[in-house]
């Protein structure tokens, strides 16, 4: 269905009918995403890693487990 919208500008399915303006905006957003795919993967990975670390620091259960692991590792 989405590929039909992008390439043909309409759907063969009667359930999914959209105004031409909506289809045009959809095509524009897809083109924008295609253009954005040139972004360096390393930058996106670094952004995701920073977010994951920030989320992990807020999780008190995870921090307690890490503290326990550090304590056990110090005994070895």
- pLDDT computed for residue 25 by the predictor: 84
**pLDDT score of 47:** 83
* pLDDT attached to residue 27: 83
Q: What is the pLDDT of residue 52?
A: 86
Q: What is the rounded CA–CA span in Å between residue 58 and residue 49?
A: 15
> Residue 69's pLDDT is what?
94
CA distances from 30 to 7, 15, 23, 37, 41 (A): 11, 22, 11, 11, 19
pLDDT means per 10 residues, the chain with 76 residues, are 70 73 82 74 78 88 91 91
Rounded to two decimals, the pTM is: 0.41
31 in Cβ contact with 46 (< 8 Å): no
């Amino acid at each position: 269905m989405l590929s039909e919208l992008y390439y043909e500008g309409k759907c063969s399915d009667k359930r999914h009918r959209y105004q031409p303006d909506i289809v045009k905006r959809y095509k524009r957003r897809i083109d924008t995403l295609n253009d954005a795919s040139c972004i360096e993967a390393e930058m996106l990975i670094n952004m995701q890693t920073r977010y994951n670390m920030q989320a992990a620091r807020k999780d008190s259960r995870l921090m307690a487990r890490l503290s326990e692991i550090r304590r056990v590792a110090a005994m070895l």
